[in-house]
């Protein structure tokens, strides 16, 4: 490859994972149940028969996994903490599990020993089941934010002497919509999903969204007030969201639809968190009173929650086409059609191993540039990756040869460089998803996003070619000479 310099020498890069997807050991050393433990064991299955009881057994094999990080040349590692491993019942007055604290201390120290920077996500969808049973979990805006603040403070107190990079929440949009509108993720509440016995898709996702926004704000405000001066860290949030272009570039209604879809996807959370203002006007217009209002006290907390960076989880892009007539009461996309081909039949990108994910590096660049311009914060790409076409049916020897993933990473890193060099965006880091093939939530153990092949029978790890090439991809773009 030709030299592609464009990233600073201190650009942070590494790999990302989430606790429930890799840890296993769900009933060991005092860990309490999470909503995903419950959801994965529902009958009939909602996760293709899969669960996280063992997963990749990272709980017992993290040293081996961190040796892989060293081999791959990673500078940083993003992982999440299991709330119910630290506070089994979850609440602010519930007992702390010291065995859980000890596990994450070992994990953090093992990273630092290898010279790898820890990036900690406080919440990656695994709400303690105890809080869901006690008061409905995220459906109680006031109680949930107080319990999340206590959990966050515990993490700062016990780990903040060594952890300097915090992410409060991972993809609150997914938690709100898939957990409380479609019912496809835990806790599986929905009034449109025939498998769900409880839920109201017209109201619950918007209540949960506010609970997550205020929980983020409480956690950041606590850090800013009581920990920042001594610990000298930074704190942000990871938001998911596709980039959208108009299905018909000649139709202004489709241009408006594309913008509206991104506001429903990203502005929902980013506007209150980064701009300290109400939800996007298009959301308020469509949803009315179903969108919970922010009080004066809420805005006081939001203003105290100055957030350092925007964590971007990006996988793909789409075309948006306007819809005529009134929106459905259960619509959550902004009254648009989401399409993978435009009016001329041109596909948005090359197909991957999942129907919804196409490789769209050009739109990724636009997305990076747009988000930085709108919200004015440094951007860290906290997730980006793909499964290869047909990879879920491949043997290990076939899967480790992953040219599609290599091409995906290469073109998406080019997009980062162009956004930085040509568009002036401030992009400070990149985490590939994921270090290991793992439990892909409701998709079970089918899609393989890992740069490391996991044999789910033996749990043997085998590096894929992409894992061994990322170091040189970054070195080229940082103007660093790779030795060996």
pLDDT band at 4 (very low <50, low <70, confident <90, very high): low
Mean pLDDT of the chain: 97
What's the pLDDT tens digit per position in 432-484?
999 999 999 999 999 999 999 999 999 999 999 999 999 999 999 998 876 65
Q: Backbone dihedral region of 120: left (phi > 0), alpha (psi from -120 to 50 degrees) or beta?
A: beta
DSSP annotation string for 173-202: HHHHHHHHTS--STT---SS-TT-SS--TT
* pLDDT of residue 7 exceeding 60: yes
pLDDT score of 2 = 39
Output the pTM of the full model. 0.98
pLDDT confidence band for 6 (50 / 70 / 90) = confident
Residue-wise pLDDT for 125-175, tens only, equals 999 999 999 999 999 999 999 999 999 999 999 999 999 999 999 999 999
Residues in contact with 295: Cβ distance below 8 Å, sequence separation at least 6, in sequence order: none
Split at pLDDT 50, 70, 90, the class of 1 is very low
28 burial via Cβ count (<10 Å: 0-12, 13-18, 19+): middle
Return phi, psi of residue 77, to 5°: -145, 125
Say if residues 54 and 40 touch (Cβ distance below 8 Å).
no
Sign, Cα dihedral of 267, 272, 276, 280: positive
Helices (H), 263-390: 268-274, 281-287, 296-304, 361-375
Q: Which residues 6+ apart lie within 8 Å of 175 measured at CB?
A: 125, 138, 169, 185, 208, 212
Q: Pick the catalytic residue: 23, 143, 149, 171? A: 171
Rounded (5°) CA angle 59-61-66 = 105
Marked catalytic residue, from 23, 143, 383, 391? 383
Residue 5: the pLDDT is 72
Decide if 171 is catalytic. yes
Tens digit of each residue's pLDDT (9 = 90 or more) over 178-230 = 999 999 999 999 999 999 999 999 999 999 999 999 999 999 999 999 999 99
Q: Which residues pair with 155 in a beta bridge?
A: none
Residue 79 pLDDT class (50, 70, 90 cuts): very high
Q: What is the pLDDT of residue 3?
A: 45
pLDDT in tens, 227-269: 999 999 999 999 999 999 999 999 999 999 999 999 999 999 9
Q: What is residue 480's predicted lDDT score, i.e. its pLDDT?
A: 86
Told to judge if 481 belongs to the known catalytic residues of this protein, a careful annotator would answer: no
């Amino acid at each position: 490859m030709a030299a592609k310099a464009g990233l600073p020498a201190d650009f942070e890069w590494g790999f990302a994972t989430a606790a429930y997807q890799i840890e296993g050991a769900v009933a060991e050393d005092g860990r309490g149940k999470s909503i995903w433990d419950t959801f994965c064991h529902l009958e009939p299955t909602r996760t293709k028969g899969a669960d996280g009881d063992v997963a990749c057994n990272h709980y017992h094999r993290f040293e081996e996994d961190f040796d892989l990080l060293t081999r791959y040349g990673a500078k940083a590692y993003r992982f999440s903490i299991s709330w119910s491993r630290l506070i089994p019942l979850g609440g602010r007055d519930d007992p702390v599990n010291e065995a859980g604290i000890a596990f994450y201390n070992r994990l953090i120290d093992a990273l630092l020993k290898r010279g790898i920077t820890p990036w900690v996500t406080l919440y990656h969808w695994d709400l303690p089941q105890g809080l869901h049973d006690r008061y409905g979990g995220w459906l109680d805006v006031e109680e949930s934010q107080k319990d999340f603040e206590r959990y966050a403070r515990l993490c700062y107190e016990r780990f903040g002497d060594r952890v300097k990079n915090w992410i409060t929440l991972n993809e609150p949009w997914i938690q709100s919509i898939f957990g409380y509108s479609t019912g496809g993720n835990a806790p599986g509440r929905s009034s449109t999903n025939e498998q769900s016995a409880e839920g109201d898709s017209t109201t619950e996702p918007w209540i949960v969204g506010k609970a997550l926004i205020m929980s983020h704000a409480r956690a950041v405000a606590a850090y800013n007030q009581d920990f920042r001066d001594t610990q000298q860290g930074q704190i942000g949030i990871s938001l998911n969201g596709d980039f959208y272009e108009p299905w018909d570039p000649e139709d202004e209604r489709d241009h408006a639809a594309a913008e509206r879809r991104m506001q429903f996807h990203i502005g929902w959370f980013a506007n209150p968190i980064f701009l300290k203002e109400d939800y996007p006007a298009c959301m308020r217009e469509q949803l009315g009173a179903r969108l919970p209002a922010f009080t004066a006290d809420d805005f006081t907390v939001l203003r105290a929650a100055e957030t350092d960076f925007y964590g971007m989880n990006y996988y793909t892009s789409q075309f948006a086409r306007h819809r005529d007539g009134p929106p459905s009461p259960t619509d959550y996309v902004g009254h648009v059609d989401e399409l993978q081909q435009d009016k001329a039949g041109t596909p948005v990108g090359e197909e991957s191993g999942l129907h919804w994910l196409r490789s769209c590096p050009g739109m990724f660049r636009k997305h990076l540039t747009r988000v930085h311009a709108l919200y004015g914060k440094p951007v860290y790409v906290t997730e980006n990756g793909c499964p290869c076409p047909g990879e879920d049916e491949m043997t290990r020897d076939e899967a480790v040869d992953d040219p599609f993933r290599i091409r995906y990473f290469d073109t998406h890193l080019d997009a980062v460089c162009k956004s930085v060099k040509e568009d002036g965006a401030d992009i400070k880091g990149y985490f590939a998803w994921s270090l290991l093939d793992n439990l892909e939530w409701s998709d079970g153990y089918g899609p393989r996003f890992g740069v490391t092949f996991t044999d789910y029978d033996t749990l043997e790890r085998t590096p894929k070619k992409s894992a061994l090439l990322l170091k040189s991809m970054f070195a080229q773009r940082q103007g660093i000479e790779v030795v060996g």
